[in-house]
Amino acid sequence: MSSWTWFHRLASPPSFFRLADRLAPWLGWIALALLAYGWINGLFFAPEDYQQKDAYRIIYVHVPAAALSLSLYVGMAVAGFVALVWRMKLAESALIAIAPVGASFTALALVTGMLWGKPMWGAYWVWDARLTSELVLLFLYFGVIGLWQAFEDPRAAARACALLAVVGVINVPIVKYSVDWWNSLHQGSTILKMGKPSITAAMAWPLFASVIGSYLFAGYVILRRLQNELLQREAGTAWVRELMGKSRV
């Protein structure tokens, strides 16, 4: 079987639905284990930071949320590009499934950043380059969600959302490199950078676990949302009727 044939089969809604049904539980359970390890060790057992004291512990929630806010937008833009070029229904559904999850993690990154900023900067919010560009990212997510709800035709809605997602991806490198390009109160990367992390192993391992666990959790939620989206869009097809018939048995 050629790679293109395999990709074509995977992209078909019934094939992807069955794959997601097998994969999602594994993602969910592994994510739960990693998050439990990361949060328990990071919030209660990791050593105190010599400068920020216990206030730094919010990184075990903030850093994964901030990383996901960027990664999920890139994933949404890739799905949007595929939807625009090849008109794939699966890509359109993925775009819509990712948007609320990405918006949630972006909002979480902003809220935890504000809570971290208060003891560090003396204010919950400053119009810093990193914070401002992250807020723009949240508005882009909201724009995609709003466009989806504004159209009655799902194909037309998906095209509009895809276009916004692709154009808006230019903000991702701005968020990522804002602390390097402009004078910023926001500190630089600690573990998500090239080279050796800037924190000790006792702090870093729970953070690694929290980041990976958060990515797996996001993957689990997106797969389940994508399954629901496929069921709604393919409601009249034979494979959905067959699936619904089996679920009633």
Residue 195 has pLDDT above 80, yes or no: no
- Of 189 and 214, the structure prediction assigns the larger pLDDT to 214
Read off the pLDDT of each residue in 52-69 and give the average, rounded to a whole number: 92
Read off the pLDDT of each residue in 242-247 and give the average, rounded to a whole number: 78
Residue 127 has pLDDT above 90, yes or no: no
Could you tell me the pLDDT band of residue 194, with boundaries at 50, 70 and 90? very low
pLDDT for res 191: 55
- What's the pLDDT tens digit per position in 38-55? 999 999 999 988 778 888
pLDDT for res 6: 52
Residue 61 has pLDDT above 80, yes or no: yes
Could you tell me the pLDDT band of residue 65, with boundaries at 50, 70 and 90? very high
Residue 178 has pLDDT above 80, yes or no: yes
- Of 246 and 182, the structure prediction assigns the larger pLDDT to 246
pLDDT for res 10: 66
Looking at the chain, the whole-number percentage of residues with pLDDT higher than 70 is: 87
In the chain, where the domains are located = 25-183+195-248
Average pLDDT, the chain: 89
Describe the crossing of helices 154-168 and 89-121 by its angle, rounded to 10 degrees: 40
pTM over 0.85: yes
- What's the pLDDT tens digit per position in 91-100? 999 999 999 9
Could you tell me the pLDDT band of residue 134, with boundaries at 50, 70 and 90? very high
pLDDT for res 168: 97
Cβ neighbours for 180, distance < 8 A, ≥ 6 positions apart: 188
